Amino acid sequence: MVFQLLLAISISLFGWVAWKNPLRGLVLIAAFLPCYLLRFNVFGIPSTFLEAFILVMAIVWIVKRGKIVFRWLRPSHPLRLPLGKGERSIAFIVIGMIVVAIVSVLVAPNTMSALGAFKAFIIEPIVLAVIALDLCRSKEDREQVVKGLFAGGIFVATTVIVQWVLNVGIPAPWDIERRATGIFPYPNAAGLYLAPLITMAIVRLVTHPSTSAAAFAQGVKKLLFPERSHQRTFGGVVEGLVIALGIPAILLTQTEAALVAIPAAISVTGLLLPNWHKRTIIAGAIICIAILISPLRPMVIEKLTLHDYSGEIRRTQWQETAEFLKDHPLTGAGLSGYPTAIAPYHKEPSIEIFQDPHNILLNQWVELGLLGVLLLLIAMYYGAKTWVRSIRANDVAAIAIGAALLTMIIHGLVDVPYWKNDLAAMTWILAALLLHATSSKTK
């Protein structure tokens, strides 16, 4: 009864905020993405707090902004982004994802689980992206949504650190190694959530004039000594908190892939930035030399080449998945069908059957089939093209967003950076912000 009352109050308050200010509602969703962990049933249908918030947000948006649904193809409307030939391809990707996902529901071994995945990983994130495209009409609007994402990251990182320090609440078997999980059921979930946000914060802090290291120091000074000035400047403080809390949190979760993905994405970003490529090369050379002369070199090489225990698990997963895909290349396993479909191909009883094969391309293939992989590659191509455009335009906000998405891709080489409620929503929000930031129609 208490939970139902909390649910009703939370949804009502969110609905009121979203109705008064739809953009603020979107910012709250960006901040509360991990609330998908709070689950409930409606007439026997499983749902989550995040799903309820997205549904309320969609209803508010349709009621207040619904007329644009019938005008969104007009060139004068903000949803009509001037992306040239790529514009139709982006629409094709979105529609194609929905159509392919419907087919994947039909071929899935468990229709109810597939329908749940369809709404949580396809429909709801796309709805959020469409809403973000409409509501984020200026740089200030986009900044609010980014700060919402950062707020969620600060909260998640704090829970990880507090859990590790107190050594309380770490679920088995992670408590044996003392790998903190924070609010999540397993440690890698925290690493996957924090890694793109940390990358985005670092890139913003280093490249953005208003969030430079000097601005950050000045903001901290005025935060600590407000009596010295009536005007407070908080430039870079949020980014600094994300970094200062996020990196220790990832270390405490022992999410090794995140520790590779973050510097890798930052390095690629630095190499592409005209004023930073020399410094990036020098820093990379120093790090490589330090690793080569370090006593940790054998361990680092072992992990990077996937010859440690977790790497062996990944390679075994990929081999079994490859055997499965040889027999089912077109349709894959269907949405949420991988654990059931891979069982006949699973030859290592000492290794559990995971929800996904832990590789971004294989994940997409088993969930959405071969066409899903093709759509993903097309999306990556146009995302990279848009990101490069933002780099040439020196749009540091868009550069940071692109770096965050690149972090998810690199992390996805050995993990599952999308097929989780919060990560799917984050991916589409970031994609929408990147598209809007590079649109000449937004100010």
Q: Where are the alpha helices (DSSP H) in 184-235?
A: 187-207, 213-224
**Residue 407: inside a domain:** yes
Per-residue pLDDT at 302 exceeds 70: yes
Q: What is the pLDDT of residue 69?
A: 54
Per-residue pLDDT at 177 exceeds 60: yes
Tens digit of pLDDT for each residue in 43-84? 777 889 999 999 999 999 988 876 555 555 454 444 444 444
Model pTM score: 0.89
Q: Are residues 2 and 138 in the same domain?
A: no
Q: Are residues 60 and 167 in the same domain?
A: no
The domain boundary, picked from 40, 67, 94, lies at: 67
- Interval 435-439 mean pLDDT: 71
Q: Are residues 253 and 379 in the same domain?
A: yes
Alpha-carbon 147 to chain mean position: 14
Q: Are residues 55 and 113 in the same domain?
A: no
Q: Is the peptide bond before 173 cis (omega within 30 degrees of 0)?
A: yes
**Residue 443: inside a domain:** no
Please tell me the distance from the alpha carbon of residue 402 to that of residue 230, in angstroms, as a whole number.
Answer: 36
Please tell me the distance from the alpha carbon of residue 146 to that of residue 154, in angstroms, as a whole number.
Answer: 12
Tens digit of pLDDT for each residue in 82-92? 444 445 667 78
Q: Are residues 335 and 414 in the same domain?
A: yes
Q: Are residues 159 and 41 in the same domain?
A: no
- Interval 35-43 mean pLDDT: 87
- Interval 204-210 mean pLDDT: 72
The domain boundary, picked from 67, 89, 117, lies at: 67
Tens digit of pLDDT for each residue in 374-393? 999 999 998 998 898 888 88
Q: Are residues 120 and 236 in the same domain?
A: yes
Q: Are residues 110 and 46 in the same domain?
A: no
Best-predicted range by mean pLDDT among 185-194, 204-213, 310-319, 427-436? 185-194
**Residue 395: inside a domain:** yes
Q: Are residues 237 and 317 in the same domain?
A: yes
**Residue 62: inside a domain:** yes
Q: Are residues 224 and 277 in the same domain?
A: yes
Q: What is the pLDDT of residue 300?
A: 81
- In this predicted model, which residue has the larger pLDDT, 234 or 121? 121
Per-residue pLDDT at 114 exceeds 70: yes
Confidence band of 234 (pLDDT split at 50, 70, 90) = very low
Q: Are residues 61 and 151 in the same domain?
A: no
- In this predicted model, which residue has the larger pLDDT, 320 or 233? 320
Per-residue pLDDT at 30 exceeds 90: yes
Whether the CA torsion 249, 254, 258, 260 is positive or negative: it is positive
Please tell me the distance from the alpha carbon of residue 113 to that of residue 107, in angstroms, as a whole number.
Answer: 12
- Provide the mean pLDDT of the chain: 86
Confidence band of 233 (pLDDT split at 50, 70, 90) = very low
Alpha-carbon 382 to chain mean position: 18
Residue among 241, 238, 236, 242 nearest 206 (CA): 236
Please tell me the distance from the alpha carbon of residue 204 to that of residue 114, in angstroms, as a whole number.
Answer: 38
Residue among 307, 344, 313 nearest 326 (CA): 344
Residue among 321, 327, 336 nearest 105 (CA): 336
With pLDDT > 70 as the criterion, what percentage of the chain qualifies?
86
Q: How many domains does the chain have?
A: 2
**Residue 243: inside a domain:** yes
Q: What is the pLDDT of residue 372?
A: 95
Specify the residue for token string 């129609």: 441
- Interval 130-156 mean pLDDT: 92
Q: What is the pLDDT of residue 85?
A: 47
What's the DSSP call for residue 439? -
| Domain containing residue 174 | 106-437
Confidence band of 304 (pLDDT split at 50, 70, 90) = confident
**Residue 248: inside a domain:** yes
The domain boundary, picked from 13, 44, 67, lies at: 67
Is residue 366 a contact partner of residue 332, using CB atoms and an 8 Å limit?
yes
Q: Are residues 33 and 135 in the same domain?
A: no
Please tell me the distance from the alpha carbon of residue 130 to that of residue 432, in angstroms, as a whole number.
Answer: 7
**Residue 96: inside a domain:** no
**Residue 326: inside a domain:** yes
